[in-house]
Amino acid sequence: MKKENILFVGERRSKLAIKMGVTWKDGRLSAKQLFDALRFIHINPHECDFTNWFEEGGPEIVHNYKGLVVGMGHKVSKALTKENITHTFIYHPAARGIIRTKAIYKAHVRKQLEDQTIYTAGFKTLLHSTNRIL
């Protein structure tokens, strides 16, 4: 049974990701930055769900998801808002600029996800900073 009930929504796979045959679940390329940030706040990225909004099936997955939806990047957040999908925004892990600094990105993800209520296996779980409260 899944421990996490979080869906991370990206844009689409990059040309390099397609060439390498990797997806978000592999934790490679920009996913590594995200995985490092999730581990920092004690979330196992391998127990989370991932999809890309601008790929076939992405919108359907998001519309049917029961749990916390996290939109990665402004393009995705704008599309989710247009569809009236409640979500939490985080910068895309491949964003350019100072947010790309590992410590700053980790702090950003922690700030955006703290105090988010998620429901897993019938339990209400409150994510708060780096502590878990059941």
From start to end of 1-67, where are the E strands?
6-10, 49-52
pTM of the full predicted structure?
A: 0.83
- Rounded average pLDDT over 37-59: 94
Tens of pLDDT, residue by residue over 47-56, are 999 999 999 9
Residue 129 lies in a domain: yes
Residue 15 lies in a domain: yes
Residue 1 lies in a domain: no
Higher pLDDT, 19 or 125: 19
Tens of pLDDT, residue by residue over 73-91, are 999 999 999 999 999 999 9
Residue 77 lies in a domain: yes
Residue 92 lies in a domain: yes
**Residue 50, domain extent:** 6-133
- Number of structural domains in the chain: 1
The two beta strands, 131-133 and 68-72, are: unpaired
d(CA 132, CA 43) in angstroms, rounded, equals 10
CA 121 and chain centroid, separation? 20
